[in-house]
Structure formats: C-alpha cells, structure tokens
C-alpha cells in the first residue's frame, strides 16, 4: 500500500480508484514552507495541479521514499522535472485529458471578445442599453495565428476553419507535413505570424524560449485590418500559460488601441491581483485559469493520472513520463 498526497484536488472517482487499489490518499494543500521542510518524506507519491510548486529544493528535501510525481493536467512548469530526474523520480502528466475543454474555452474567449459579450453584460448590469457601441466583427474571413500547434491548437484551428477563418501557425518543433495536413500556413518566424494575423491565440508551453514571446514589438506588427477588408482590430487570447505574454506591453497595446481586445485565462501571477490595471481595462476580459475546469476534463484527468501513478508504483513505466529523457 502506498501513501499518496493529493494537494490541489482530484476528481472523487479517481481518489476512489486509488483507494480501491489499497492506497492511502491524503487530500489537502500543503504549504510551501512545509514542503521545503520535508513534508513529503512520508509519501510514495504526490499528485499536484498548478497551485503546488515543486522546485528543486522541495524535491531534494523529500527524501528517498517519494517514487512518483503526478501532474493532474498538462503543464509541468510548476515542477522542476530535471531535479526530479536527478532524484530518480518520474514526473507523469495527463496530456490529452483536457484538450477538448481548453479548445472550447479558447473559442469561447475569441467569440466573447469579438462580440463584446463581457462588456455588453457589464453595461446591462449597470442599467446601460449600449446597442450602438457594441458593433462587433465576425471571425469568418479573418486570419487566426496559433502559437504552438499541438493537440489544443489543432482543435482550435479545426473549429476556426469551420467558422471561416484562415489558420496560420508558428511552431518550431512541428513537422511541416502536420501543418499541411491541417491546411494551415506554417511560419518559420513568429514575426511573420504576427504581421499576417489580426487574431492570435497562444498554445505553447511556458519556458525560457517562450517567456514574453508576445511582446510590444511583435504586437505592433499585427495588421488590424483583415483580408476581407474589415478594420477588425487585433485580438489576443491566452488559455495556455501566464508569462508568455508580457502583460505590461499588452496593457500598453490595449491603451494605444493597437490591440482591440485581450482575453486571458492565465496570468503571470496567479491569482491575478484584483487591482491589476489589465483587469480594469474596458477591452479586457478574463477567467481564473479554468481551461481544464469541466466535469468531463476533470474526470478524465483524474482517471488518467491515477492510472499513471499506479503504473509507476507497480514498477512499470508510464508513457506520459515528461522527464523520461532525463532519468537514468
Ligand atoms: C493544465 O496544465 O493542465 C491546465 O493549465 C490546468 C491546470 O493547471 O490544472
């Protein structure tokens, strides 16, 4: 029987799955100071989402018993996967479970921006019937630039194409034949993606290469006018990771009008401070990192991560081990 810490919550069915297999599941957030003082010494496994951070010092303080780290989701930027590998600990995630949910939220944010849904709602609540100033634009006929072209971006691209958009992508790791098969223009330089697209959606990981990849210079390249001749303005959506957009530059671009709308589900600092000037901007709307927060995604995430953890605890190798290349 293993002791498994689940610090950021997990679907009940997945907790039951682990318990039925005979494991002890300890649910509850563990404060960072406790983690770095060896709170994981009595555990064989830990399952986290994004709230719990597992830097190198915490992993080093966890002793020899910890055998596997599970990330109930996709992004592992909150875990030092190299330090885990050095300690001989596989880090496993659930990369496919939330794809559809994030795709749908991204399309929702795009539509909400273009049709001013959050602004119009705020007006209604304040007793304003602002019909005349809520003229939007269609997605049809516009160029959508996707930064990163993995599963989520491909899902967004397929829906965008069905809505009449032309899809472009920048993804230095993508085999050109994948972009071709999806009828998508693959850019070698991110700059040409920006100069060709009035709409940009982010779907890459946060790392040294992508930190502040969306910056003032690149947003300044966006054309503001679409191929169908409409002055639709420029629009940015991020349902991937905070930190990929330079939020100060984004606010400046909103203030100057170079960016007509921005919709973020993820922020450089989470929870985003409520006095953030970005949150106050009329043409900004956001959600609190809820891309994977659907009943369906959480059920799949929980099930996938429970199976991954048990595979490792039973001595097997999990196919979603994100630090496999670093483990000896
Ligand atoms: C993920 O990486 O899976 C999502 O951002 C959702 C989450 O952090 O839970």
328, pLDDT greater than 90: no
Shared domain check, 303 and 176: no
Residue with the smallest CA separation from ligand 1 atom 8 is 50
* Cα 230 to ligand 1 centroid, rounded to whole Å: 35
Candidate of 6, 14, 29, 49 to mutate for ligand 1, largest count of ligand atoms within 8 Å of Cβ: 49
5, pLDDT greater than 90: yes
Shared domain check, 147 and 55: no
Residue 55, both tokens: 């830097």
* Three-state secondary structure call for residue 322: coil
- The vertex-94 CA angle with 91 and 95, nearest 5°, equals 105
Is residue 134 domain-resident? Answer: yes
**Residues in the ligand 1 pocket, defined by CB under 6 Å:** 49-50, 73-75, 98, 291-292
User: Mean pLDDT of all residues in the chain?
Assistant: 97
Is residue 269 domain-resident? Answer: yes
Shared domain check, 201 and 54: no
**Hey, which residues are catalytic here?**
241, 270, 289
pLDDT in tens, 7-53: 999 999 999 999 999 999 999 999 999 999 999 999 999 999 999 99
Shared domain check, 280 and 161: yes
* Cα 255 to ligand 1 centroid, rounded to whole Å: 30
* Three-state secondary structure call for residue 273: coil
Shared domain check, 307 and 178: no
Residues 52 and 302: their CA atoms lie apart, in Å, by: 16
Q: For ligand 1, what atom is nearest to the CA of residue 49?
A: 9
Residue among 284, 288, 287 at smallest CA distance from 271? 288
* Cα 98 to ligand 1 centroid, rounded to whole Å: 8
Shared domain check, 271 and 139: yes
More confident residue, 194 or 328: 194
- The vertex-74 CA angle with 73 and 76, nearest 5°, equals 105
Give the predicted TM-score (pTM) of the model.
Answer: 0.95
Peptide bond into 271 cis (omega under 30): yes
pLDDT in tens, 259-285: 999 999 999 999 999 999 999 999 999
- CATH number of the domain to which 244 belongs: 3.40.50.720
Helices (H), the chain: 12-20, 32-36, 56-60, 81-86, 99-114, 117-125, 151-162, 176-181, 190-196, 216-220, 247-256, 277-280, 295-313
Residues 177 and 299: their CA atoms lie apart, in Å, by: 33
pLDDT in tens, 108-154: 999 999 999 999 999 999 999 999 999 999 999 999 999 999 999 99
* Cα 49 to ligand 1 centroid, rounded to whole Å: 6
Task: Give how many domains the chain has, as a whole number.
Answer: 2
pLDDT in tens, 213-252: 999 999 999 999 998 899 999 999 999 999 999 999 999 9
Shared domain check, 90 and 203: no
Shared domain check, 272 and 160: yes
Is residue 171 domain-resident? Answer: yes
Is residue 300 domain-resident? Answer: yes
The burial class, CB within 10 Å (0-12 / 13-18 / 19+), for 144 is buried
Is residue 115 domain-resident? Answer: yes
Candidate of 52, 73, 102 to mutate for ligand 1, largest count of ligand atoms within 8 Å of Cβ: 73
Shared domain check, 167 and 134: yes
Shared domain check, 169 and 58: no
Q: For ligand 1, what atom is nearest to the CA of residue 50?
A: 8
pLDDT of residue 205: 94
Is residue 323 domain-resident? Answer: no
Candidate of 77, 93, 98, 207 to mutate for ligand 1, largest count of ligand atoms within 8 Å of Cβ: 98
Q: For ligand 1, what atom is nearest to the CA of residue 8?
A: 9
pLDDT of residue 70: 98
Q: Which residues contact 57 (CB under 8 A, 6 or more apart)?
A: 36
pLDDT of residue 324: 97
251-254 own/partner pairs: CB under 8 Å, 24+ apart = 251/277, 251/278, 251/281, 252/216, 253/216, 253/219, 253/220, 254/278, 254/281, 254/283, 254/284
Shared domain check, 193 and 112: yes
Shared domain check, 212 and 69: no
Residue 284, both tokens: 């900004």
* Cα 74 to ligand 1 centroid, rounded to whole Å: 6
166, pLDDT greater than 90: yes
Residue with the smallest CA separation from ligand 1 atom 5 is 75
* Cα 75 to ligand 1 centroid, rounded to whole Å: 6
Q: Which residues contact 97 (CB under 8 A, 6 or more apart)?
A: 73, 292, 297, 300, 301, 303, 304
Tell me the HSE value of 95 on the side-chain side, using a 13 A CA sphere: 12
Is residue 90 domain-resident? Answer: yes
Provide the residue range defining the domain that includes 117. 99-286
Is residue 119 domain-resident? Answer: yes
């Amino acid at each position: 029987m293993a002791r498994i810490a689940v610090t950021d919550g997990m679907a009940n069915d997945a907790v039951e799955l682990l318990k039925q297999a005979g494991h002890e599941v300890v649910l509850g957030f563990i404060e960072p100071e406790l983690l770095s003082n060896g709170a994981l010494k009595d555990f064989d496994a830990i399952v986290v989402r994004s709230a719990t951070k597992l830097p190198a010092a915490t992993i080093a303080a966890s002793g020899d018993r910890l055998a596997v780290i599970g990330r109930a989701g996709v992004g592992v930027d909150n875990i030092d996967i190299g330090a885990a590998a050095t300690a001989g600990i596989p880090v496993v995630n659930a990369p496919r479970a939330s794809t559809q949910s994030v795709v749908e939220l991204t399309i929702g944010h795009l539509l909400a921006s273009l049709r001013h849904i959050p602004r119009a709602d705020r007006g209604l609540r304040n007793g304003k019937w602002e019909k005349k100033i809520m003229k939007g634009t269609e997605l049809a006929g516009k160029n959508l630039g996707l930064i990163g072209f993995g599963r989520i971006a491909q899902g967004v691209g397929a829906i965008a194409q069905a809505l009449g958009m032309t899809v472009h992508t920048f993804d230095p790791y993508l085999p050109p034949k994948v972009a071709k098969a999806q009828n998508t223009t693959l850019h070698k330089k991110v700059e040409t993606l920006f100069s060709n697209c009035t709409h940009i959606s982010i779907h890459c990981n946060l790392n040294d290469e992508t930190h502040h990849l969306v910056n003032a210079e690149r947003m300044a390249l966006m054309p503001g006018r679409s191929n169908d001749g409409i002055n639709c303005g420029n629009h940015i959506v991020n349902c991937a990771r905070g930190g990929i957009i330079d939020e100060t530059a984004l606010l400046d671009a909103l203030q100057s009008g170079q960016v007509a709308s921005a919709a973020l589900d993820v922020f450089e600092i989470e929870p985003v401070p409520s006095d953030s000037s970005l949150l106050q901007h009329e043409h900004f709307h956001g959600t609190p990192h809820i891309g994977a927060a659907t009943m369906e995604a959480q059920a799949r995430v929980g099930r996938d991560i429970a199976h991954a953890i048990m595979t490792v605890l039973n001595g097997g190798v999990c196919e979603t081990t994100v630090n496999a290349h670093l483990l000896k």
